[in-house]
Structure 1
Amino acid sequence: MFPKVSIVVPIYKVEKYIHRCIESILEQTYTNLEIILVNDGSPDNCGKIIDEYAGKDNRIHVVHKKNGGLSDARNKGMEYATGEYTLFVDSDDWLERNMVEVLVKISLDYQADVVQSAFYYAYNDHLLYDNRYFSQNDPHVLLNKKELMYELVRNEKVKNFAWGKLYKTNLIKNLPFKKGVLFEDVFWAHLVMHRVNTYVISHKPMYYYLQRDESIVANYSLRNLDIIEGLKERHKFIEQHYDNLIDESFTVILTNCLIHYNLLMMNRRIDENGICKKRIRSYIKMHYKEFLAAVKGNKEMKTQLLLFHIHPIINFSFLALRKISRKLKVLPQQVGFERKNFSFKV
């Protein structure tokens, strides 16, 4: 008997995309599915749409709840998960038809606790595949716990995203997502991976991660700073359990602090008194020696840290000048991703 897979889909204000997402799940070549659609108090027609789907396919279980955010919706969905495996899918994304079948086979073949699928960044007219480290036809990569935590902290080969990974349900059943925060996966992923013995990376992109036409600068809010708090929380865990990764963790925190400081500079209206910028600058100053030691082999980050330490405006100007130089092709362009032309309708 093939093991049952619980697919948890939190749903909120995605009427435009929900059909494509659900259809991609219903059309899976692997049929022993339990599809848990959680309506997180969506004000549009999503609740009605998923009820209609439930009436057509008995594998679908619909949950309606008051709006509580993505974490709360995922947690509610997990209360109903009875499969041996669990897969999270965001409701504006979609899957290749054989994704579940492929991931379950890999998990069984390697006795893996978690299997990670590669994914496409999906735009309106093209797809991007990150081929900086792997090509689509490369053999699977197996990671043990120590290797996995290193890659998770770096967030390159192993992303912090909860979606696009097949988990053994007993691994995550009692690890709820933190409610009321953005970037909830950053608060959660390291706790999961700490329990993993075998982790497998598949390089075949089978998950489509929708990129909406929204500017991070135009839509920036103070809630975006949650990622820094998540990284700080994770850093305490790293200090307790993986002291060999402290420098890597500090580097990631510094990178995000500098990014968000600059975003706050470009969005002065939301931080009128500069309180958040002062908080970030104070944190960098407090840990300056640790940051400097952490980035000693990273010329890029060391330069930014030194310039920021002199004055944040100097680092901001340096980055702006470098961006202009790249546009003018004075400096070499950053390594791009593999592009595939694509057009889809929603």
Structure 2
Amino acid sequence: MVTPYFEEPIEKLARCHRSVLDQSYKDVIHIFVGDGRRQEDIDSWPRTQHITLPLPHSDFGDTPRLIGAASAAGLQFEAVLFLDADNWYAENHIETLYSLGRSSGADVVTSSRYLCRPDTGEVLGVCTECDGLNFVDSNCYMFFDSAFYILSAWGLRGNSAVRSGVSVIGDRVLWHAIQNSNLQRTHSMRPTVFYETSFAAHYLARGIDVPGFAKVIRYDKNQNRYCIEPYAG
């Protein structure tokens, strides 16, 4: 399990880690990768490895994810999952994906997710977007070792791609690479990921008043770059 972090509060990192420790499938190591930051408390947490990068990359966790996955591959782990610092898993998440992967022979297994408010923790409902056909969120993957090579799509990009801000949509870039590969994949419709969302579209789609912290992703033609901006603007 790979978790990139930057400036998230230790309380959210601890919640993220607790959801890994509480998994029904126990044979898991949680790899934290600090992107130019180091939370010393993590060193004492059980079943963890802690990697700190000397400089921040400011690429929405893409480089830390890639380095964490490379470490897992080099240590001959059987599978790799990703969990952002502000999200968490249902207790049966790993067991569900692992069992489905082994029974189907898939290289990549994905799951559905719940959407939650980051300010109150309220569960908004099941995300209809993360369906294993059109899109999969980065928190909803399990990659078996036969699929490790595809993870290079997450971070090994040319300078022009980096300048375009493509990391804003890095999970869509990875999903596109998977769809255009020969990897076998399967999807669990059971939502076992809890995802804190600040995207305005998730509130608009549910007829909920858009909170002040909501944001949108926009492609700026003048800058030739993807940007995240406040919805209010």
Closer/same/farther in 2, CA of residues 131 and 25 from structure 1, 3 Å limit: closer
The higher radius of gyration belongs to 1
Q: Quote the residue 2:203 is aligned against.
A: none
Given the alignment of the two structures, is residue 48 of structure 1 paired with residue 25 of structure 2, yes or no?
no
Higher relative contact order (CA 8 A, sep 6+): 2
Q: Which has the higher strand share?
A: 2
How far is 1:176 from its partner?
Answer: 4.0
Aligned positions, number: 199
How far is 1:128 from its partner?
Answer: 2.6
How far is 1:115 from its partner?
Answer: 1.5
Query: CA separation in 2, counterparts of 1:88 and 1:132?
Result: 20
Q: Quote the residue 1:127 is aligned against.
A: 123
Query: CA separation in 2, counterparts of 1:18 and 1:99?
Result: 18
Q: Quote the residue 1:109 is aligned against.
A: 103
Aligned with 2:17 (options 22, 39, 43): 22
Aligned with 1:61 (options 27, 49, 53): 49
Read off the aligned partner of 2:226 and give its amino acid letter. Answer: D
How far is 1:132 from its partner?
Answer: 5.8
Report the more deviating stretch, 92-101 or 116-125: 116-125
Query: CA separation in 1, counterparts of 2:93 and 2:13?
Result: 18
Percent identity over the alignment is 21
Q: Quote the residue 1:98 is aligned against.
A: 92
Normalising by structure 1, report the TM-score: 0.51
- Superposed CA RMSD in Å reads 3.3
How far is 1:195 from its partner?
Answer: 2.5
Q: Quote the residue 1:257 is aligned against.
A: none
Deviations 1:128-154 (A, max 9, x none): 3337699xxxxxx9xxxxxx7xx3xxx
Unaligned runs of 5+ in 2: 199-210
Read off the aligned partner of 2:145 and give its amino acid letter. Answer: T
Normalising by structure 2, report the TM-score: 0.73
Query: CA separation in 2, counterparts of 1:192 and 1:98?
Result: 25
Residues 183-262 of structure 1 aligned to structure 2 (within 5 Å): 183-212=169-198, 214-216=213-215, 225-226=225-226
Query: CA separation in 2, counterparts of 1:209 and 1:48?
Result: 25
How far is 1:173 from its partner?
Answer: 3.2
